[in-house]
Amino acid sequence: MKDIVISGQMKGVSVDRATRTAEYNMIKHWHPECEIQYFFQGKRHFFVDQQHYAVKSGSLVLIDSNQVHNTYSDKELFHDRLVIHFEKQVFENATNSLGIDLDEFLQEHRGLIQIPQGDRALVESFLIALAEELEQKQVLYQTIVKLKFAELITYLIRLKISGAMHALPTASEIEMNDLVSEVGHYIRENYATVGSLDDIAKTFYLDKCYLSRIFKRSTGYTITEFTNIQRIQQAQRLLEDSRLPVAEVSHQIGYENVTYFNRVFKKYVETSPLQYRKKQIAYQKSLREKNNH
């Protein structure tokens, strides 16, 4: 069961603080918005790209745009967390005025950060104030939201410089070994023709059950999931940058059955390929109009 504590939004930013008392598992997905999650209480598990984390009270997760991620329940089901989704351009002026490159910041800090016990009240005050401004929408609330965001980013930079910042260890504490890395690289380079688990196992002279087990343990993905994600991300690029029919896009990325392609695409992107293309065309048009004013 999910109980909303606070919720609000403005153009390019949304916030949601909620508690859950029941099991909740999210499929692997990605989106153009960046994401911050902070945990006031409780425990959960995260996969961000190929890194598996266990989060707890005081954990802050930074997810860059289009990073593949998902979460799933711990044995302890209760948690209280706050999520912010934001488009980078909303905060770029505020961070640039402080001499902070937001893209560079996210590259250096993304992942999981454990906030020191003594600093949690400060960090939580930034997040709660930002959320309340988005919910209540009083005069100049957008300005206050940007200021609170900048305060949070400044704090995280100082935390790293002080040496007090540290990411939580991986839940399994198993480094991705050279073999798994090689298999992942092979799939990324040959996503359209890579074939089945059997085919990949034969390519690397491995038992398929062994390959399946170590790949899942090290990356959090099954071979099929990892392959599908590479294909769907390429499909997004083709839908944005070309006028190829959906059936041809499906064929080029390795799906012979366009109906199956549509189903897999919608699973990860939460819309159909055709609707995705229409949305991107409309978005690019709005950017051009904005830049021409």
What's the average model confidence in pLDDT over 105-119?
A: 93
pLDDT at 172: 43
At 179, the amino acid letter reads L
Which two structure tokens, joined as six digits, stand for 52?
């598996």
Q: Kindly give, in sequence order, each residue whose CB lies less than 8 Å from that of residue 113, ignoring residues fewer than 6 positions away.
A: 59, 60, 61, 62, 156, 159, 165, 166, 167
Q: Kindly give, in sequence order, each residue whose CB lies less than 8 Å from that of residue 42, ignoring residues fewer than 6 positions away.
A: 56, 57, 74, 76, 77, 78, 79, 80, 81
Q: Is residue 49 helix, strand or coil? A: coil
99-109 tens-digit pLDDT: 999 999 999 99
- Phi, psi (5° rounding) for residue 277? -60, -45
Report all structural domains of the chain as residue ranges with CATH numbers, in order of start: 2-162 (2.60.120.10), 178-283 (1.10.10.60)
Cβ atoms < 10 Å from Cβ of 121? 9
Cβ atoms < 10 Å from Cβ of 89? 10
Q: Kindly give, in sequence order, each residue whose CB lies less than 8 Å from that of residue 236, ignoring residues fewer than 6 positions away.
A: 269, 276
138-156 tens-digit pLDDT: 999 999 999 999 999 999 9
Q: Is 46 exposed, middle or buried (0-12, 13-18, 19+ CB in 10 A)?
A: buried
What element of type H or E holds 36?
Answer: strand 34-42
pLDDT at 171: 44
Q: How confident is the model at residue 47 (pLDDT cuts 50, 70, 90)?
A: confident
Q: How confident is the model at residue 1 (pLDDT cuts 50, 70, 90)?
A: confident
Is the pLDDT at 175 greater than 50, yes or no?
A: no
Cβ atoms < 10 Å from Cβ of 275? 13
Q: What's the chain's average pLDDT?
A: 89
At 117, the amino acid letter reads Q
